[in-house]
Structure formats: C-alpha cells, structure tokens
Chain A
Amino acid sequence: MSTTLWIIIAGAIATYLTRVGGHLVISRFENIHPRVEAGLNAVPAAVLTTLVAPAALSAGPAEWAALVVTALASLRGGLMAMFLAGTAVLILARQFVG
C-alpha cells in the first residue's frame, strides 16, 4: 500500500477516536479541570491560526487583500459569505498583481 493510503487510514482512525473518545473517556469523569477545558476550547483557533499566519506573511498584496476582505466579511456573514468574498478578491487581484 502507498504512503498516501496509510495516511488516509491512520487519519481516519485518529478522527474516529476523537468522535467516540469524548464519550468513552470524558463522560467517566464528573467534571473536567477548568484549565484543561480552557485548553481544549483553544485548540481549533490555535491550530488553524498556524495555517494562516505564516502563509500570509510569505504572500503578496493580492493575498493580503483577500485575507483582509475575508476577515471583514466574517463580521457580517457566515463561513460561505466570507470565503466567497475572499476568493473573489484573490482571483480579481491576481489578474493585476500576478
């Protein structure tokens, strides 16, 4: 089997563990320690930010414009609206900046 296939299968198992694990593990405890819960709450934003910040830093004006518009759109619309707004700006800006 190829490495790619192994990554997919291991990723699927890891994902299933998160989906069933909370029920199996956390439900056994009466309550979670507040600091652990605070840490868990921070996980999505912390992970996702690392996928934006360095990419933004090494990008150019077209990409920056797209990110700014995405952030602004997020204050009003949902995920779809901001994604489409950011993408539209990116495609448009790349026609000029390249």
Chain B
Amino acid sequence: MAVEVISEGSTKSDFWDGVRLSMPVVVASAPFALLFGAIAVDNGFSVLEAFLMSALVFGGASQMVGIELFGQHVAPWLIVLSIFAVNFRHVLYSAGLGRRISHWPVIQQALGYFIMTDPQYAVAEARAASGKTVGFVWYLGLGLPVYVFWVVESALGAVFGNLIPDTHALGIDFLLPIYFLGLVMGFRKRPLWLPVVMASAVASTIAYKTVGSPWHVSIGAIAGVLLAVILPPHHSGVGERP
C-alpha cells in the first residue's frame, strides 16, 4: 500500500468509501429496526423508550431479547443480564478490533467501540485483512449511517406499532422466535453448533416446564455453554475465529 496522504480530499473519499459499504447493512437492518419499534410498543414500551433503547444499546438481537423478556415481566436484573449475554460475542470482536484501531486517539476509540456491531466488525476486519489501514473517518462512514437509520426506523416502527389493531393476525407476537431461529441457524457453521443447540433446547424446555420463565433462558444457555467447555478441545475447533 502506498503511503497515505492525509489531506481533506482523501479524508472525504475515505468517509464515502465507508458510507458505500454501509448501504447493504442499512437496507438489511431496516425491517428489524421497524419490527423492534413495533414489538417494543406491543410489549409496553413508549415510543420514546423504544427510541432511547435503540440509541443507547444499538444492538438488534439484544434489544429484541430485552423486549421479549420485558413483555414476560422478567426481573429487571435478568433482562440486563440477558442483554449482556446476547452481546457477549462483542468481547471477541472487541479483542480483534483493538489490534486495528489502537493507533486512534482514545476518544475516537471509545466512539468506535460504541458503534461496533457484527457487520461493522466484519467489514473492518476484512479491510484490515486486505492490507489497508482502518482509519477513523472510514470507520465512521461505515458505522454512522447504520446507527442513524437504526434509531430513526426504531422510532418510526414504534409510532406505527401503536396503530396496528390486530397484532395476532399479523403474527407480531411470534416474529421474534422466527427471527431468533434465523440467528441460531446463522451460527450453524460453528464447531459444536448442533450439540450446543440440542443441549440448550432440551435444558431450556425442561426448565420452562419445571422452574418456569424466565429462568429457562439462563439455565438453557448455561447448559449449552457448559457442554462446549466440557467437550475435548479438538471437537470445538478452537483457534479458528468465529
């Protein structure tokens, strides 16, 4: 790679390079932002609260999980713990991204981690792998549109969610399990995926029938994770990055 000339022109084009790469993510996440807003209102959130959650948490799957548990009147600390658990994969991204952005000023790094999502990490990692520098301006161009659209569309979804008369006919009460199954299937290439899913499914179902909601979430999750920890490492293929 040639020596980068830091000028206003290259900074500008870096930003728009990032914006261009953000567009597929913006399009793909739009329905989920709208859906989140609608479900949030359906589960007892106000429009402002749905907006705030998207603006402050900015993590689609964890927001869906949080809303689902909130609707089931789960204890607040367990909702927060579940949001933490669903987002825990970020710890790995964070460790990986840290090697790419450690040359940024601390404030920029702090902001960079705030807008780090699955696609943000994946695209930044791909850029680093191709030998290019992950610059702050480029990174911001990639992440800012995703953030702005996510927050605005969540609020829109919440406003229109209020107007939907029959949520059952539109299936809104069961969209989350479908969405979560989609996410589960998305991880199917990971080592130990099937045993982990089976263990979590069986344990959470038994816990749901015996101990009851919301404990089935923690119990089922612990069962799956424990299985992965207990099985000999050559089964889990560690050393490979997710």
Contact = CB atoms under 8 A, between A and B. Distances in A.
A12 to B, nearest CB: 4
Interface in A1-19: 3-12, 14-19
A67 B217 CA distance: 19
Interface residues of B, number: 99
Contact of A50 (B109, B216, B227, B229): B216
A43 B91 CA distance: 11
B137 interface: no
Given A7-B66, A42-B236, A46-B199, 19 more contacts: A3-B76, A11-B53, A15-B62, A18-B87, A20-B94, A26-B91, A34-B238, A46-B220, A46-B225, A46-B228, A47-B82, A48-B61, A50-B216, A51-B176, A52-B177, A54-B213, A82-B182, A87-B178, A90-B175
B184 A45 contact: yes
Contacts of A95: 169
B225 A39 contact: yes
B88 A11 contact: no
- Tell me if B's interface is mostly helix, strand, loop or mixed: helix
A49 B92 CA distance: 20
Nearest to A68: B181
Nearest to B190: A41
Would you list the 4 A-B pairs with minimal beta carbon distance, nearest first?
A46-B224, A22-B94, A50-B220, A23-B98
Nearest to A58: B208
Interface residues of A, number: 67
Contacts of B223: 46
A51 B224 contact: no
Interface of A: 3-12, 14-27, 34-57, 59, 63, 66-67, 70-71, 74-75, 78-80, 82-83, 86-87, 90-91, 94-95
Contact of B28 (A12, A53, A59, A79): A79
A46 B200 CA distance: 5
Given A11-B53, A53-B200, A63-B177, A91 B169 contact: yes
Interface in B168-182: 168-171, 174-182
B118 to A, nearest CB: 10
A56 B187 CA distance: 19
A44 B89 contact: yes
Contact of A19 (B114, B187, B230, B238): B114
